[in-house]
Structures are given as structure tokens and as C-alpha cells.
Homo-oligomer: A and B are copies of this chain.
Amino acid sequence: MRGGPDRQGGRPSSGPAPGEPARVNDTASHLDALRAVLGERGLLAAPDDLSAYETGARYDRGRAAFVARPATTAEASAVVAHCVRHGIRLVPQGGNTGLVAGSTPDPGGAQGVLSLDRFTGPFEVDAANRSATVGAGLRLSTLNQGLEAHGLVLPIDLGADPTVGGMVATNTGGARFIRYGDMRRHVLGLEVVLPDAQGTVLDLMRPLRKNNTGLDLKQLFIGTGGAYGLVTRAVLELRRLPQQSATAILVPRDDEAVMTLLTAFEERVGDHLAAFEGMSGAAVELALKHHERLRNPFAPHPPPPFCILVEIERSWAARDQEPSIDVLMEQVLAEIWDLPGGPLADAMPGRGSDFWALRHVLSESLAAEGRVVAFDLGFARADVMPFRRAMTEVLAQRHPEARICDFGHVGDGGVHFNLVLPRDSALARDPAPLRELVFGEAAGRFGGSFSAEHGIGRANLAFYERLVGDRERGLAGSIQDLVAPGGLGSVDFRAAAPSDGSP
């Protein structure tokens, strides 16, 4: 796999292996030049200092020649320009919480990390405009803590705590997409350093909701992993911080009932519907097994084959004259109990924090059980359950050792289709046949996306090359060549374009 993640883990404790690029010595003059721009705190080159920046959240570590930590746009521009002029590849890194090897260097040791961890300013809130101007290195949690006093929030709900720049670069979606949408929806403005010989700064920072004055260049930098430019600042649209929420777990009568329930909730309480999350019984069982303090909401029964976490939110505080949101949830559930065909087999209103605790440990629980082969798929909503059914049948026949422990966002068609394998199985050692099978069904037969919300990175590059059409890859590569000739980040869309150089 071209440019694939380092599957070998670790790195030699002595110097570079024969044939590998040298790590520090050859680049001493570059380090001096970068240090002159960034100062001592702004440039790391000692192996102990690099380690934290070389390790991603869910894959083995790469190796960095250095870590550049600009704190201003001028510094970022100077670093990018220097590296472009000297052919040094930079990989931008925010919270480093991505899941596709998009923010860590490759194993070669010749790439530099451009960390935004000092680029946390400015942080200016315009409460009347419901917007904030922020540095790309600001963490989501820090942002939302600062917004709380204004009654505002950037409402993208994730298990991780990424930076704003990383969220832009991956166009994060998350669990409350059905109510709030993705990061693209919340970007009013961006400042970007282009990887060209000048480190050109593109200032697209106006805090405007309506601004149709030609090509919206911001869109090039959203969801493209930094390949088209380094996001340094952003103007974000914010939403009112929800003041009331109610949660329930639903057990659908059967697969067909899932869409009936989703539509029923949208019809009855659509303005408040914040999450409609599917959870397989297998995933819930593993969460309960590996987290003894979690309560089984189905006790004394085991979890059903599939259940749904539904949440409704109100952006305002309870007022005397209207039913509380808990009462509203009860009313809606009562209406849905009575629907023809009985789509609801069971329903449990309950504490949101309990249910979300269960939801948010699913991923790590799987990893505690065995080797996880994970897929981040997107579908038209009505295809989610048929895809699961089809995969259940075909996997039972061909790979019965693969346990389907999926969960995800039924409300937006997203499925974290995770397969848990015994660690000593042949498929655990080489999951390629499993990937062929799942992508063939998901992207082929069901017309789905092979990366709903995680992005490309080195981890998905081979699938990008196979599953995205020649014309689209050709245009993406040519546009990168125009906008970002120096290249940036873990993916080069020129290299991933068809070899004949079209479009």
C-alpha cells in the first residue's frame, strides 16, 4: 500500500537504519533556520521531545525530523515557505486525535511535524453574531468552556477532544449531526497558509453568514486533511447551548422498524431531535463486559440485537407554561407505542449521562476484546439496516470468526462498522480479505461512502485511489497542484491522481 501507515510499530533506538533518510544531522542547517524563526520553544528536535508528536491515536508511531510549533501566522508562513523551498514535507498536527494517520509523520523520519499546540489564540467571542474567532490550535473543550458563559457552544459532539484546525481539516461530524450538521456548516471564515514558496497567507476571515461573491475558496480546506493548506485561524458559527435534554433507549421490533421510528421522531419532535444512534447488541455486551461499573439498561435481560439511543434537546430553559422535555419525551414515546405495526418493542427513558457513557465506551471496549478491524461508512439512511443484514449473512458464511460489533449514527446514515477478531486468527494478522469484502458491499453494492467522517490520511489512501473515480481524483490532484504546489500533510492528492495525469 503506497504511503500506508507504519504497521511495524516502534522505531530503532539507535540511528536510522540503512537506506532510511537521516534524522537530525543532515538537517542541522534547516533546524537553525527554523529556530531563527520560531525560537527555542518553537522548535523541537531532541528525540525525547518528539515522541509525543509521533504517535497517533489508533495506529503505530511514525518518526519526525523535528516539530515546528508556530504561534503566529507570520511564523507559520515562514516555516511553511522554508520547508517548501527545501523540499521538506510538513505534516500539520492539531489534537492528534484523528483515526486515519492524517496528523503524524510517516516512518521515514524525514518529515517535519507542524504542531498547532501553541497556536491557541485569538479567542474572541461575538455573542450578538453567535460567532467566535479562534486560533486553529484551540481545543474543542477549551472553546466550549469559554463559550459557556455566553450560553453558546460549538455543538459537534465527539468522543475525542480535537483542535479547531483538525476539526476543519477532517470536517468532523459526530453524534449530533442530525441536529447541528458538520464542521463545514459552522465555518464562516478561515485563514490559511498555502504550501508554496512564499507561504502565502489567504485571509478569508470575515464573520459573514451570507457572502456569495464567487468561488468559496474556504471549501478547499475543509475535509481535505491539510493537503491544500494549513488552517491557522477560523471564524466559527456557534449555536445556543442546549438547556434541556431527554434521552431514551429504544428497542425496535425488527430492522424495518428502525426507519419507522426515526421518521416518527422527526415527525413528532423534529426541531429538538439531537441524536438517533444505533448500537448493536454485540457492542453493548462488550461495553458491559469491559466496564463493570456500567449498568445494563436491559437488566435482567441481555442486550437486544439492536437498540437506539435517542436524544431530544431544547435550546431554552424550562418554563412553567410548557411541559418539561422529559414529559415531552414521554408523550412522544406514548404516541409511538400506539403506531400501527408496533415498531417499538421496548423503550426506556433514562439519564442521558448513563446512556452516553455506554455509547462513548463502545469503541475502546471492542479493542479490549480482540483485534478490531474498523470501518467508518456512510449510507442513505434507509440502507443502514439492509447493509447490516447483508453483512451479517455474508460474514457468517465466509468469516464466521468476525464478530460484528457496530454502532453509529442511524440518523445521518453513518455506521462505525467494527469487526472484532480473535487476536490469533489469520484475519487478525492480515485483514485485507475482510476489507475487500466490506468495501465491496458498502461502496459497491450499497453506494455508500468508505469514509463517512474520519477522512483520508495515510490509512485510507489506498481506498481513496481505488474507490474514488479517476475524474474526481484527477481534478483533486490538479487543483492541489495549483493551490498547494509544495504539498502538505500526510496525503498528496497529486500522487493519488490517475497516472496518466488527467483530468
Contacts and interface: CB of A to CB of B under 8 A. Distances in A.
B483 A213 contact: no
A210 B378 contact: yes
A229 B203 CA distance: 26
A118 to B, nearest CB: 26
Interface string A23-60: 00000000000000000000000000000000000000
A394 interface: no
Interface string A438-451: 00000000011111
Contacts of A128: 259, 262-263, 380-382
Contacts of A131: 380
B331 A210 contact: no
Contacts of A215: 220, 223-224, 228, 472, 475-476, 479-480, 493
A239 B181 CA distance: 13
Contacts of A290: none
Contacts of A253: none
A316 interface: yes
Given A482-B475, A482-B478, A483-B475, A213 B270 contact: no
Given A185-B185, A378-B209, A475-B483, A214 B493 contact: yes
Contacts of A452: 208, 210-212
A266 B241 CA distance: 11
A388 interface: no
Contact of A267 (B151, B269, B270): B151
A432 interface: no
A474 to B, nearest CB: 10
A403 interface: no
B270 A208 contact: no
A398 interface: no
A250 interface: no
Interface in A100-129: 126-129
A453 interface: yes
A328 B323 CA distance: 12
8 nearest interchain CB pairs?
A219-B219, A210-B452, A270-B315, A211-B449, A128-B382, A210-B378, A215-B476, A209-B412
A240 B270 contact: yes
Contact of A475 (B217, B269, B412): B217
Interface residues of A, number: 98
Nearest to A179: B271
Contact of A204 (B228, B455, B472): B472
Contacts of A464: 213-214
B177 A212 contact: no
A453 B479 CA distance: 26
A122 to B, nearest CB: 16
Interface in A144-190: 151, 170-171, 173, 177, 181-182, 184-185
Interface of A: 126-131, 151, 170-171, 173, 177, 181-182, 184-185, 200, 202-204, 206-217, 219-220, 222-224, 228, 239-240, 259, 262-263, 266-272, 313-316, 319, 321-323, 327-328, 331, 335, 378-382, 409, 412-414, 447-456, 460, 464, 467-469, 471-473, 475-476, 478-480, 482-483, 491, 493, 503
A184, A210, A472 — which one has the most chain B CB atoms within 10 A of its CB?
A210
B213 A449 contact: yes
Given A200-B471, A380-B126, A449 B208 contact: yes
A271 B315 contact: yes
Contacts of A413: 129, 208-210
Contacts of A224: 214-215
A266 B130 contact: yes
A171 B210 CA distance: 9
Contacts of A321: 323, 327, 331
A476 B210 contact: no
A419 B469 CA distance: 50
